[in-house]
Amino acid sequence: MPIDPPVLDSPRGSKMPVISLFSGAGGLDLAVERVADTPLQSPVVPSNGPFRVAVATDYSAQALDTLSLNLPGTATWPGDIRDTPTSELLRVGSMSAGDAALVVGGPPCTPFSKSGFWLAEKRESRDPNASLLEEYVRVVAQARPEAFVLENVQALTYKTHQKHFQQLLAALADLGYNPQWKTLLAADYGVPQLRKRVFIVGRRDGQAFRFPEPTHAGPSETTRSWDTSKLFHVSAEQAFAGLKTVSESKELVEGKYGQLAAEVPAGQNYLWHTPRLGGRDEFEWRSRYWTFLLRLAPDKPSSTLQAQPGPYVGPFHWENLRNENGDLRARRLRVPELLRLMTFPDDFQLIGRRADVQRQLGNAVPLELGKAVLRALTLQLGYIDAETDSDDQLVRSTSDAVLIS
């Protein structure tokens, strides 16, 4: 059942309200509330930022339970957005049209992601969930926030989905928001993950949003040269510095490919076991997804964390452990390690089984990436003083983000 808005204390109640759509576990929501804070500040510590998430909605009640644990002052509304009137979201958030400072959210990326791309309806962009983009536009049109931030997978911009993408931009432009979009690499903003996401940002006053400049640089799948004046990408090993973890149930990679996974060196994948490299002759060259039997390289950022990986889909940790029979096996990443790779606080709480946790984090926006976009927007709207939020502070905060234990 919907949860009525809590009684807010004065400091939080004086902050500008934000509507969160497709909220999930609250990665973008946490970025909204921590936009002016130092990295990895505990989610329960009062924020210095100008915003509060007044209402968050998602189809997954479990994900909203996670959000509520970490943002207890946010009212939540579980349910299908297609059945949720904007007026109800405004009521639950104690707002009227025009009150919201922001609408934020990332419509589910399934219709546009590479996962399941072999399905005809996805290849042809016929997935019915693509209509969720229209629901986002509908809430912006009716709530009339000062600005909006929409996040999605990079594939939304591909030629295959060009029709949906152009319709989305046109609809937002018709509302007067002058939408600007850009694909950002999370690692370029201090996140130890080579995760690409497209952001679309618009302002009600029609002024063009300017995306933040990257603070970090380094090699990626498509980059072999980079700006050496910037900080180098944060590596997985740096992200895990000072982190103490305990073993988790079923963390070892067993079964059909268990031994093969253990033999893959750090930074390599199933291609190690092809005639071209040093492993066994088990697979054809480029016959599997890149993440099959993928091991983390300690000196590089992680690949994108997936929401629903198969049993042999990495990235797996670079270290091997022995199973009950004494055989070496690769191990899956532990939850505290996943949190570090997402630049979430160490004390971020998640509800559900291990698969539920993986899904919630894999679907989330890395906290420091969300903060980079939202901080730029907040500066441009005039809610943070540029003199007290210098470029040096931005560089320092994102550099230190994953080094705080």
Cβ-contact 181, 157 below 8 angstroms = yes
| Alpha carbons 193 and 233: distance in angstroms, whole number | 9
Q: Which of 102, 109, 150, 262 is an active site residue? A: 109
Alpha helices (H) along 44-129: 61-70, 86-92, 120-123
Cβ-contact 318, 268 below 8 angstroms = no
Nearest to 29, CA basis, from 296, 374, 381, 276: 374
* SS3 state of residue 55: strand
| Alpha carbons 299 and 233: distance in angstroms, whole number | 9
| Alpha carbons 21 and 82: distance in angstroms, whole number | 11
User: CA 63 → CA 78, 151, 153, 239, distances in Å?
Assistant: 9, 18, 19, 25
Please count the residues of the chain: 405
CB atoms within 10 A of CB 352: 16
- Please report how many Cα atoms fall inside a 13 Å half-sphere around the Cα of residue 296, on the Cβ side: 30
State which amino acid sits at residue 92: V
Cis preceding-peptide flag for 315 (omega within 30 of 0) = yes
Contacts of 15 by beta carbon, 8 Å cutoff, 6+ apart = 49, 50, 51, 52
For residue 260, give both structure tokens.
């093969």
User: CA 169 → CA 36, 90, 142, 164, distances in Å?
Assistant: 29, 24, 17, 9
Place of tokens 């999370």: 186
| Alpha carbons 365 and 195: distance in angstroms, whole number | 10
Whether 344 is catalytic: no
CB atoms within 10 A of CB 307: 19
Cβ-contact 197, 153 below 8 angstroms = yes
Give the residue numbers marked as catalytic. Answer: 109
